[in-house]
Structure 1
Amino acid sequence: MYFLFFVISFSASVIGAVCGIGGGVIIKPVLDAAGLMEVGAVSFLSGCTVLSMSFVSVVRSLGTRDKVIEWRCGTALAAGAAIGGAGGKEVFQYAYSHFADSSQVGAVQSGVLLLVTALTFIYTLNKHRVRTYHIRSLFLCAVTGLALGLMSAFLGIGGGPINLMVLSFCFSMTTKQAAANSLYIILFSQFTSLIHTLATNTVPEFPVSILGFMIMGGVLGALAGGRINERILDRHVNKLFMVLMAVIMGINIYNIHMFL
Structure 2
Amino acid sequence: MIFFLIGLFSTIIGSIVGIGGGLIIRPALAGMGAAKSLASFTSSIVVLSMSSVTLITYIRKKVHIKIKKILILAAGSIIGGFLGGTLLKFVSESFIDRTYIFMLILVLLSVVYRNKIPKMNIKNPFPQFFIGIITGGLSGFFGIGGGPFQVSTLIIFFGLDIKEASVDSIFITFLTTISSLTKYTLNGYTDFSLAVYMIPAAILGGYIGSHLNRKINEKKIALIFIISVLLILTVQTYIVITRYLAFIK
1:249 pairs with 209, 233, 241, which one?
A: 233
What amino acid is aligned across from residue 78 of structure 2 in structure 1? A
Q: Which residue of 2 aligns with 1:58?
A: 55
Per-residue Cα deviation, 1:100-155 (whole angstroms, up to 9, x for no partner): xxxx75x6664443222211112222222211111001111122122222332444
Which amino acid letter does the alignment assign opposite residue 75 of structure 1? Answer: L
Which of 198, 215, 229 is 1:214 aligned to? Answer: 198
Counterpart mapping for 1:107-118 below 5 A: 110-118=97-105
Mapped partners of 1:110, 1:215: distance in 2: 29
Matches within 5 A, 1:188-199: 188-199=175-186
Q: Whole-Å Cα distance in 1 between the matches of residues 234 and 75 of structure 2?
A: 33
Name the residue aligned to 2:247. none
Give the superposed CA RMSD: 2.4
Moved more, 151-160 or 221-230: 151-160
Structure 2: how far apart are the matches of 1:239 and 1:209? 35
Contact 1:27 1:157 in 2 (8 A): no
- 2:67 maps to which of 55, 68, 71: 71
**Equivalent of 1:17 in 3, 15, 21:** 15
Deviation readout 1:156-205 (Å, 9 max, x if unpaired): 4332311111110010011111001101111111111121222234x38x
Alpha carbons 1:44, 1:156 under 8 Å: kept? no
Q: Is the 8 A contact 1:13 1:23 kept in 2?
A: yes
How many residue pairs get matched?
244
The equivalent of 2:107 in structure 1 is 120
Indicate how the Cα distance of structure 1 residues 84 and 56 shifts in structure 2: closer, same or farther if over 3 A, else same: farther
CA contact (8 A) 1:46 1:156 kept: no
Matched, 1:39 2:63: no
Alpha-carbon shift at residue 88 of structure 1 (Å): 4.5
SS in 2 for 1:128: coil
TM-score (norm 1): 0.83
TM-score when normalising by structure 2:
0.87
Aligned-pair distance for 1:13? Answer: 0.4
Give the Cα separation in 1 of the matches to 2:154 and 2:140.
18
Shift of 1:258: 4.2
Q: Deviations over 1:34-53 (max 9, x none)?
A: 34223333222222221221
Following the alignment from structure 1 to structure 2, what is the Cα–Cα distance between the partners of residues 9 and 153? 22
1-structure distance, mates of 2:32, 2:96: 15
Aligned partner of 1:84 among 65, 80, 83: 80
Q: Can you give the 5+ residue segments of structure 1 that lack an aligned partner in the other structure?
A: none
Q: How is 1:62-211 mapped onto 2 (pairs within 5 angstroms)?
A: 62-67=59-64, 69-88=65-84, 95=89, 110-201=97-188, 203=189, 208-211=192-195
